[in-house]
């Protein structure tokens, strides 16, 4: 195929899931399904070696077909904790990817990391392998808070990891911080965000704590008969947003502050490109289908890495609420034309599905939905409120409304 023809191929996001961590953090709902014994496997354990072999097998199985049809433009190694990989594992995995897919046109390559897993040597290797963006899970700069939420690093280690990333040549550094723990006051939020804004970081992901089922913190809250307080979470989020905006890092989409934008997340939320997910617990959006592997079923993935556990057309009504929900977290919202192109279904038809109506009714209790011929979106100022409110999805709606003193639903 000529270079010109190759240039016309649609872009692809290459996602690699590494389902291992140094700790099972008490708040984390990303790996809630992963048994702790699997999550904490070391590089020499048969399970971890088996997952790497399976990754290579999946890449070899899908790579040639993907290379024919797509042009990888964005890469993201996430988890779990992608940076937990040893130098040898990083090299072996990257060799497999580069051997199967043309990675020369990748403009953004992110590695997701935890502070204690980073060394200068590893960071330099990642830079050599083309990673130009790093996301570091800092969560807090308060050592008591870090202990309370089950982190295995200190605030000092977190700061040092940011410096190491810079030293290794990363000039696009994101940190993840969590606000809105039930016992967190605004003074703690202010101290954390002001400190964060003074560090050599250009992008901030500010997550409102979700008290998710299956986590240690949620169990603790349930035992104590406590809930997160939505109004306090919103106040904390607005405070964080104000500090970051004043410091030169405005919010460009829900929870993300600064620049450059994260192409991986934004493209996915806006359904801008197809996505291949490699690894246990990953999912893919390919050719109008969503396919993937169940989270927490690593041994099943290892046994048959080339066979997806599920494969559902995006046009299936079970997918509509999710797709619409992701896009609504962005200021652009759901673009009717893009929705039609990617799912083969009209947005206006999808909006009539009972599950979508029910979901939107819930969202619209918290914000003004704007509808025009281009699509649907929430008023810019309402997005945070709408999606922080949805942290309450598994709590009784009456309790949630009482919690905030919700306004009456706003008609679309
Ligand atoms: C997949 S984790 C990866 C980060 C990396 N493993 C680390 O912890 O250092 C992505 C981010 O999701 C956020 N997160 C996880 N569980 C959360 C929860 N229950 N509520 C709010 N944010 C959460 C954390 O900020 C975390 O850094
Ligand atoms: S927050 Fe990160 S390190 Fe902690 S359990 Fe979740 S994915 Fe693993």
Give per-residue pLDDT as tens, 72-102.
999 999 999 999 999 999 999 999 999 999 9
Higher pLDDT, 315 or 7: 315
Phi, psi of 151 (to 5 degrees): -80, 155
7: confidence class by pLDDT, cuts 50, 70, 90: low
Q: Region 383-406: what's the mean pLDDT?
A: 58
Share of the chain above pLDDT 70, in %: 93
On whether both 346 and 260 belong to a single domain, the answer is: no
The answer to the question of residue 288 being in a domain is no
Among 30, 162, 175, residue to substitute to test ligand 1 (most atoms within 8 Å of Cβ): 30
- Strand-pair partners of 175: 136, 204
Confidence grade of residue 106 (pLDDT, cut at 50, 70, 90): very high
In this predicted structure, which of 80-84, 261-265, 402-406 has the lowest mean pLDDT? Answer: 402-406
Could you tell me the pLDDT band of residue 404, with boundaries at 50, 70 and 90?
A: very low
Same domain, 241 and 377: no
Count the neighbouring beta carbons within 10 Å of the beta carbon of residue 399. Answer: 11
The pTM of this model reads 0.93
Residue 157 lies in a domain: yes
Examine the domain organization and report whether 263 and 324 are in the same domain.
no
Domain boundary among 267, 291, 306: 267
Specify whether 259 is located in the same domain as 145: yes
Distance from the alpha carbon of residue 82 to the mean position of ligand 2, in angstroms: 10
User: Is 277 contained in some domain?
Assistant: no
CA-to-CA dists, residue 93 to 89, 96, 320, angstroms = 6, 5, 34
Distance 67 CA to ligand 1 centre (A): 32
pLDDT at 400 over 50: no
Report pLDDT for 81: 98
Q: Is the CB of 25 under 6 A from ligand 2?
A: yes
Place of tokens 């008023």: 379
Evaluate whether residue 294 is within a structural domain: no
Could you tell me the distance, in angstroms and rounded to a whole number, from the CA of residue 75 to the centre of ligand 2?
Answer: 20
Please indicate, yes or no, whether residues 243 and 389 belong to a single structural domain of this protein: no
Q: Is 295 a domain residue? A: no
Q: Residue 25 pLDDT > 70, yes or no?
A: yes
Name the closest-CA residue to atom 3, ligand 2.
21
Q: What is the mean pLDDT of residues 147-171?
A: 98
Question: Nearest to residue 167, comparing CAs of 124, 114, 201?
Answer: 124
Structural domain ending residue among the three candidates 267, 285, 301 = 267
Note down the domain range covering 340.
315-412
Token pair of 382, please?
A: 């309402």
Residue 252: other Cβ atoms inside 10 A: 16
- Tell me, yes or no, whether 168 and 256 share the same domain: yes
- Residue 137 is assigned to a structural domain of this protein: yes
Residue 124 has pLDDT above 80, yes or no: yes
Res 8: pLDDT: 81
Asked if residue 50 has pLDDT above 60, the reply is: yes
What pLDDT is recorded for position 409? 27
Ramachandran angles phi, psi of 272, nearest 5°: -80, -25
Q: Is the pLDDT of residue 115 over 50?
A: yes
Q: Are residue 247 and residue 333 in the same domain, yes or no?
A: no
Mean pLDDT of the chain: 92
Beta-ladder partners of 277: 15
Best residue among 40, 176, 212, 393 to mutate for probing ligand 1, ranked by most atoms within 8 Å of CB: 176
Contacts of 392 (CB under 8 A, 6+ apart): 230, 399, 400, 403
**398 against 25, higher pLDDT:** 25
Task: Determine the straight-line distance between the first and last CA of the chain, rounded to whole angstroms.
Answer: 48
Closest ligand 1 atom to 25 CA? 8
Torsion of CA 77, 83, 85, 90, to 10 degrees: 60
Q: Do the Cβ atoms of 236 and 184 come closer than 8 Å?
A: yes
Distance 30 CA to ligand 1 centre (A): 7
Q: Indicate if 204 and 73 belong to the same structural domain.
A: yes
Whether residues 59 and 189 fall in one domain:
yes
pLDDT at 2 over 70: no
Q: Which atom of ligand 1 is nearest to the CA of 81?
A: 6
Q: What is the dihedral of CA 373, 377, 379, 384, to 10 degrees?
A: 180
The phi-psi region of residue 169 (left if phi > 0; otherwise alpha if psi is between -120 and 50; otherwise beta) is: left
Same domain membership, residue 188 and residue 42: yes
> Considering the domain boundaries, does residue 272 fall inside one?
no
Residues with CB under 6 A from ligand 1: 21, 27-30, 79, 81, 112, 114, 137, 139, 176, 178, 207, 209-210, 212
Distances in whole angstroms, Cα of residue 387 to Cα of each of 152, 237, 369, 382, 392: 29, 11, 13, 9, 9
- Please work out whether the CB of residue 118 comes within 6 Å of at least one atom of ligand 2: no
In a domain, 178, yes or no: yes
Q: Report which bound ligand comes closest to the CA of 205.
A: 1
Most confident of 5-19, 147-161, 392-406: 147-161
pLDDT for the residue numbered 268: 85
Residues 6+ apart with CB under 8 A from 96: 55, 56, 59, 60
Q: Which of 188-202, 296-310, 382-396 has the lowest mean pLDDT?
A: 382-396
Residue 118 pLDDT > 50: yes
Q: Which of 179-193, 287-301, 315-329, 398-412 has the lowest mean pLDDT?
A: 398-412
Listed residue (79, 46, 73) closest to 132, CA to CA: 73
C-alpha distances in Å from residue 7, one per residue of 61, 69, 192, 268, 379? 23, 11, 44, 21, 36
Q: Say whether pLDDT at 40 is over 60.
A: yes
Claim to verify: residue 198 and residue 322 sit in the same structural domain: no
Q: What is the pLDDT of residue 313?
A: 95
Alpha carbon distance 38, 111 (integer Å): 21
What is the number of domains present in the chain?
A: 2
In this prediction, residue 391 has a pLDDT band, given cuts at 50, 70 and 90, of confident
- Determine the pLDDT at residue 394: 52
Q: Say if residue 58 is in the same domain as residue 194.
A: yes
Give 362-373 pLDDT, tens digit per residue. 999 999 999 999
Question: Which CATH number do you get for residue 261?
Answer: 3.80.30.20
Q: Give the whole-angstrom CA distance, residue 293 versus residue 57.
A: 15
Give the pLDDT of residue 267. Answer: 87
């Amino acid at each position: 195929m000529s270079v010109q023809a190759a240039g016309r191929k649609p872009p692809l996001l290459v996602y690699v899931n590494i389902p291992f961590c140094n700790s099972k953090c008490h708040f984390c709902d990303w790996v809630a399904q992963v048994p702790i014994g699997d999550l904490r496997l070391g590089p020499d354990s048969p399970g971890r070696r088996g997952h790497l072999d399976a990754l290579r097998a999946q890449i070899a199985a899908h790579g040639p077909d993907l290379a024919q049809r797509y042009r990888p433009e964005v890469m993201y190694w996430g988890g779990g904790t992608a940076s937990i990989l040893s130098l040898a594992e990083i090299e072996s995995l990257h060799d497999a990817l580069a051997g199967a897919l043309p990675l020369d046109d990748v403009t953004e390559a992110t590695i997701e990391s935890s502070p204690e897993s980073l060394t200068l040597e590893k960071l330099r290797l990642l830079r050599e392998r083309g990673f130009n963006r790093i996301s570091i899970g800092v969560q807090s700069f308060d050592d008591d808070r870090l202990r309370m939420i089950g982190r295995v690093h200190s605030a000092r280690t977190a700061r040092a990891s940011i410096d190491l990333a810079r030293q290794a040549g990363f000039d696009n550094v994101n940190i993840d911080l969590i606000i809105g723990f039930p016992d967190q006051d605004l003074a703690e939020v202010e101290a954390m965000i002001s400190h964060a804004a003074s560090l050599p970081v250009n992008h901030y992901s500010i997550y409102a704590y979700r008290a998710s089922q299956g986590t240690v913190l949620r169990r603790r809250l349930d035992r104590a008969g406590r809930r997160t307080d939505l109004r306090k979470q919103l106040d904390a989020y607005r405070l964080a947003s104000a500090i970051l905006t004043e410091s030169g890092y405005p919010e460009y989409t829900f929870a993300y502050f600064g620049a450059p934008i994260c192409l991986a997340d934004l493209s996915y939320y806006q359904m801008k490109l197809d996505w291949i997910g490699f690894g246990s617990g990953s999912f893919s959006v390919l050719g109008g289908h969503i396919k993937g592997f169940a989270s927490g079923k690593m041994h099943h993935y290892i046994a048959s890495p080339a066979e997806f556990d599920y494969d559902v057309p995006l046009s299936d009504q079970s997918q509509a609420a999710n797709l619409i929900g992701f896009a609504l977290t962005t200021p652009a919202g759901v673009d009717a034309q893009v929705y039609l192109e990617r799912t083969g279904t009209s947005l206006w038809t999808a909006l009539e599905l009972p599950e979508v109506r029910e979901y939107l009714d819930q969202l619209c209790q918290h914000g003004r939905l704007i509808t025009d011929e281009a699509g649907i979106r929430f008023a810019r100022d309402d997005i945070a409120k709408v999606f922080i409110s949805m942290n309450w999805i598994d709590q009784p709606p009456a309790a949630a409304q009482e919690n905030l003193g919700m306004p009456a639903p706003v008609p679309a």
